Structure formats: C-alpha cells, structure tokens
Structure 1
C-alpha cells in the first residue's frame, strides 16, 4: 500500500504521527505533501527575510515521522523563548533555513534533515517556490497572506469567495507528482480547509495529479468549523469546496470517501469553542451519499480540553479503510 497525505498545519503532522507505525508492514511507502504558504510566526520571518519557502509545516511533519521521537526530535522542535533576534524562532526552522542556504536547494535541505532524523516516509513541499495565498471575500475585499486571510475572516464580516496563489503558475516538484500518480491511497486532511489543504491543490501540477490518479481518495473532515473560513459549513460543504478547486464543479466529486467524526465534545469544551464562533461540523451523511461518496462515520474525538481528532481513533479508522480496500481488491 502506497499512501500520500496532503495538507499542512497541525492536522497533517497529527495524522503522520500515527501513520508511521503502519510503516512498512501495512504501508510500504508513505509520503506527505506539505503546504509552504504559511507567513506567520518564525516561519513568516524567515520566509520574508531570507526568501525561502515556509519551513514550519515541513519541520512539523519531519519530526512527526521521526523513527524515534528522541532528543534530536526535541531539538528540532525547540523554540527560543528569549534572546534578541532568536525569540520565537524554532531551531528546526533555523536548521532547514541554514541547510537551504548552504545547498541552495530547499528540497535537498528537507532530504538531509529527514535522513538525520531517520523518518519513516518522505516529506515533499507542494512547491519549492515562494508563494502567497490570496483570497477574495464576499464583501469584495482581497486579502493577501495566510495569516491576514485568517485574521480578516475572524472579523466575521464576510466569507471567502475565491482563493488563489501568487504567482499562480508555480510548479510542484516532480517527486510530488510522481508520488500522487503512483499512490494506492490519497488522504486529504484533517486541517484548515482554505489555509492548509486547498493551498496544495491550487498548484496545477498537484491538482491534475490528484484528479488523474487512480488512487482511492479519502477526505478527513474537521471536527469543528473554523471561524473566518468555514463558518456554518457542513461536511458536504467542505467536500464541495474541494470539488470546486480540483474538478471545477462543486457537485463533481473527485473523492471516493469521507471520514467523519460523529461525537459532540463535552459541554464545557463545546461552550468554549462556541464563544469563538466555532461549532461541530454537521455530519450530513445523506448529502454525502447522494454525491456518490462512501461515508465512514465514527467517534474520532480526542479526550481532553480540545475538540480535535484523537490520533489513536484516527489511525484505527484509517486502518479499517485500508483493510476494506484490500478486501475489495481481492
């Protein structure tokens, strides 16, 4: 089984942290294709000052796939809390930046870092070019930058109408395209729909490869809506947004299946999220089924103070889906 996971942010690294335990017995080849449009925090500063693709999500995915999350992994995730010029920076971001400058190649820097941490898989950025995420909102305003888009959305005065990359004609690494075309399963999500998943699909090479791949395509829907991005979105609304980007038509689904959480967070957790205009994504199974999708609806909720996926439950659900595919392939 060859698996490609596409996304960014904490969602993708959470997914990879569990999937690595299926390598190589169940998943023979695991590849993560990661967005590089983030312009916030340490990543944003390095990106702006040193003209390199955003390293933060890549770093998180590398450490998630590390064979043993030992002292080296902790070093890569270490964030300076003091020191002029260093405060707020992650050591891993600095390490990837230095390697990129030495080698002159962001892809090579990722490969070297991956070897040092002995990761169980491959990390490939969706592009090694500098890109900016741009969105047009329903009030007509055009906002540039991932952080700025999120912040504008939080004002709750308009919703995202259209989203694109600048420049629009950036290319994906050939390794990313080849991995998608050769995959048995492609997983999209979990993660912020418009700022973690869709940015990868805005790159024509990635989009075309996903559309043309014969792989089983699974979308893992978020547990909660994200205010400023997916306010009021049901599960099928998430799928329609993906369809519009990849297939050019909200109703023309390129996906085979959707994995949904069915559990409502505890009341105290729910109330905290509702204060931030975030609510559970409605699992409108009927609409998804009418779109021709296989629906896997399960309790995927993590225990604790946050409404997010449980890595263990997510892994178990994906393993079940993989086993289903093997049975149907016989």
Structure 2
C-alpha cells in the first residue's frame, strides 16, 4: 500500500502534538502553518524585520525533525527578561528571521532549515507575507491583530485576513494548494479555532482548494473552550463556524474527546485561556453532515489538558488508509 498523503493545517501548540506522532508513521506528511501571529516574540520580529512571524513555524520544524533533543532545546531557548532587546525571544525565532532576511523569503528559509534538520515531510507557511487577522464581533465591533482579539468581550461573528504591509487580500504560499489537491487526508487542528485554524483556511486560494479536493477532511475538535474565542461553544459550534467561514460543508469527520478532565486538575493560573471542557452536541454535529469519531483523546500533563497525539494519529491513519483503498 502506498504511503497516505496527509496535510495538517493549523498553528499554535496544537498541531505539533499530532505532527510529532504522525512523523513516526509511514506517511507522506505536510504541515501548512498560520502566519497571522502578531504577539510576543513573533510580533516583535515581524514588526522589526517585515517577515512572516516565525514562532509557529519554529514549533512545527522541531516537531517534524529528527534533531537531537539538545538541538531542539537550543532552538527553543528563550532569552530571559534581563536581556534587553533580546528578552523573551526564542533563539529559533531569531535564526528563522535571519535566514528569511538573507534569502528574501520565509518560505525559502523554512525549506532550507527543513533540509538542515532532516525534516520528515514538508512545511509551508500558509502565506509568504505577514498577515493581519481581523475579527468582527456580533455587536459589529472589529479588532485587528490576533493578540488583541481575546481582549474584547463578546462573541466573534467572523474573521478575515489582510496582508500586513499592503492591506491586500492574502495569497497562499507556493505548493500549498498543490499539497491540498494531492492529499488523501487533510487534518484541521487541533488548535485555537479563530486564531490558529481559520487564519489558514480563510485565505481564498486555500478555501477554494478545500472545496475542490477529493481528500477526506478531518477536524480535531478542541478539548477545552478558550477565553475570548470559543466561550460556551459545543463541539458542533466549532464545526458550524468552520463551515460558515468555508461557505459550505466540507468536513467529513470530527474527532471528539469524550474523556472527562478532572475539575480539580486544571492549573488555571498557567493556562488562563482555558475556561471549561467543550460540551458535546452530537445531534447538531450530525446536522452538519459529519462522521463522528468519539474516543479518549485526552492527555493530562504540565497542569493542562492536551490531545494524546498517538491516539489522534491512529484515527487519522485509519481514515487515510481507507481513503486510499476507496
């Protein structure tokens, strides 16, 4: 049987967990990563150097590489608060920024680093330009900038993107659309709905490719709701928002965690963006015309609730192999 072609789309800390597990399998793996982050180190770098933000790309690069742990620790090393202009920057972000400036492209920088670190698969920024995420709330108020969205109290109606430097409609990086069209399986998430997943799929070329592709599209539903983004959301609400932004029902399967997070467990000081566990609404999920795979996908570690990458990967592999047979 040929290797399943799997494309994972997202950003933040969610998709590296799944990518790390999938790279151990016999798959042809591609990651498409958001470039709308404007907070923290990534935000400061993109303002100073005018490149696509490197933070999410750095985490994916490490997850998909066979680099020794020492190398990963070097890339993840974050300068301390006493280090002036370097304070808070992970060394890996600065390396990606330097190579992006040298080569005139974040896309080319990531391809060079992928070869250097023996990445198993392909990594593409969703766009080669820094993007600004705009959120329009139900009350009509609009916020520009991913890092500012959670600060406005209210429900988000929709999000859209512009190129930060020009204000133009963003275009996809080279090979992104090709990867989607050639995939057997496409995985959305896990990750923040409005700030990690949607900033990829609302790029018009990517949205259109998701309409046209023959690949099975899987959504890995979040375990916890997120402050300022998905408060009070059920699993069906997550899928509904994705379909509303895509303009049609394209998701084939939703992976839903059914294991309970112990109430006394959550370290709310460390993970203050979390609110409560996502509630299930299987009737409304079925109304979205999706297949539901419910299982124990929960991993409790470091005071937080995360997806068990191995369990998620096994479901993705099973669906991908079936797609090849069909």
SS at 2:307 equivalent: coil
Provide the C-alpha distance between the structure 1 equivalents of 2:117 and 2:10, rounded to a whole number of angstroms.
21
Residues 159 and 229 in structure 1, CA contact (< 8 A), matched pair in contact too: yes
**Cα deviation per residue 1:93-132 (whole Å; 9 max; x = unaligned)?**
1001110111112111111111111111111001011210
- Quick check: 164-173 or 111-120, which moved more? 164-173
Structure 2 gap segments, 5+ residues each: none
Aligned partner of 2:258 among 256, 259, 262: 262
Partner of 2:42 in structure 1? 43
SS at 1:242 equivalent: helix
Cα 1:294/1:210, change in 2 over 3 Å: same
Partner of 1:52 in structure 2? 51
Is 1:200 the equivalent of 2:200?
Answer: yes
Provide the C-alpha distance between the structure 1 equivalents of 2:252 and 2:34, rounded to a whole number of angstroms.
23
Cα 1:285/1:323, change in 2 over 3 Å: farther
Cα 1:276/1:124, change in 2 over 3 Å: closer
CA RMSD of aligned residues (A): 1.9
Aligned length: 316
Partner of 2:24 in structure 1? 21
Residues 72 and 117 in structure 1, CA contact (< 8 A), matched pair in contact too: no
TM-score between both structures, scaled by the size of structure 1 = 0.91
Residues 268 and 274 in structure 2, CA contact (< 8 A), matched pair in contact too: no
Correspondence list, 1:164-183, <5 A: 164-166=160-162, 167-183=167-183
TM-score between both structures, scaled by the size of structure 2 = 0.92
Partner of 1:89 in structure 2? 89
Aligned partner of 1:7 among 5, 10, 20: 10
Give 1:140 shift: 2.6
Partner of 1:240 in structure 2? 240
Give 1:276 shift: 6.4
Residues 261 and 283 in structure 1, CA contact (< 8 A), matched pair in contact too: no
Higher strand share: 2
Partner of 2:281 in structure 1? 284
**Cα deviation per residue 1:224-274 (whole Å; 9 max; x = unaligned)?**
11121111111111111111111x2xxx41111100000110120259499
Structure 1 gap segments, 5+ residues each: none
Residues 224 and 274 in structure 2, CA contact (< 8 A), matched pair in contact too: no
SS at 1:9 equivalent: coil
Higher helix share: 1
Provide the C-alpha distance between the structure 2 equivalents of 1:84 and 1:47, rounded to a whole number of angstroms.
18
Residues 181 and 215 in structure 1, CA contact (< 8 A), matched pair in contact too: yes
Cα 1:38/1:234, change in 2 over 3 Å: same
Give 1:309 shift: 1.0
Residues 187 and 217 in structure 2, CA contact (< 8 A), matched pair in contact too: yes
